[in-house]
Amino acid sequence: MKYFEDVRVGESAVLGSSTISEAEILAFARKYDPQPFHTDPEAAKTSFFGGLIASGWHTCAIMMRISVEAMQREQAAGAGSPGIDSCRWLKPVRPGDTLTLKREILEAWPSRTKPIGFVRSRSVMVNQKGETVVAIVGVTMLRRRPETAA
Amino acid sequence: MSDLIHFEDIEVGQTHRFGGYEVTAAEIVAYARQFDPQPFHVDEEAARRSHFGGLIASGWHTGAMLMRMVCDSAIPGHATNGAIGFDDLKWLKPVRPGDVLSVENVVVEKIESRSRRDIGVVKIAGRVLSQTGEAVMSLTSLVLYRRRPGV
């Protein structure tokens, strides 16, 4: 089990990759972000993006999926997240793109009231061309190792 | 196209309330199975035993539901070019099956682009509210608005 005490500030890791299909882009956007450049391949061609692109919330969802898979792999004692400091959608995500999630630990501090710790990290998703498509700084919570918790 | 609301037409302080998104257990589980398969999002029984005491929506799902309400009610009639991102997103309260979500958006700042004369950034403080009026999520969105041609 990976607890708060096992987090190393400054550490960077590649957490996984995922390839996004046109069908997935359309299905997500028709449900949650029905704008023509996300839902209509023909209309998207004449938009300022020049073709179909994924909803930014879809890109974030894929990042979450890769994060959860990594947490499950390393049996992290995850306790959720209070929020995100900043998220920037820097480049369009297009059908067939393969996104790789990289995360750097920026800061870690224990809760003064609960047996958890807070971890601030910077996550980026990079496409197959090496371009960063989304950059997120956020905070997650991990449970403390039972014998060290106050 | 001049009837669209452009960057010039937006005023700081403008407030817009909209929404009425009914959250179902089926949708919480469907979203989470695909994107956030943690027990308290996908498994009713495990969720009951968790510190949340029952099934709750993925925080990113709440963001996606916010986006749907924005698409239905805040984008039509507005000359927007998408968003560049958001700041200070907080997941304040769990979102549960049966909740009905709405949005309160307040324009907090307008920023002219230094590099492009044809667009500007509008900062919008958004709160997602439950049927009891409690904020379940808040964030500051950075939305691109087109400027009126020739202004």
* b (16+ CB within 10 A) / e for B119-148: bbbbbbbbbbbbeeeeebbbbbbbbbbbbe
Amino acid symbol at A143: R
Nearest chain B CA: its distance from A126 CA (Å): 16
Please write the tens of the pLDDT for every residue from B96-109: 999 999 999 999 99
More confident site: B86 or B50 = B86
CB contact under 8 A, A83 and B90: yes
DSSP state of A114: S
Please write the tens of the pLDDT for every residue from A52-96: 999 999 999 999 999 999 999 999 998 899 999 999 999 999 999
CB contacts, 8 Å: B87 with chain A: 85-87
Please write the tens of the pLDDT for every residue from B33-64: 999 999 999 999 999 998 889 999 999 999 99
Contact residues, chain A to chain B, C-beta under 8 Å: 28, 31-35, 37, 48, 55-58, 60-62, 64-65, 68, 78, 80-89
Please write the tens of the pLDDT for every residue from A11-49: 999 999 999 999 999 999 999 999 999 999 999 999 888
ipTM > 0.90 (yes/no): yes
Q: How many CB pairs below 8 Å do chains A and B form together?
A: 80
- Which residue in the set A31, A33, A81 is minimally distant from B91, CB to CB? A81
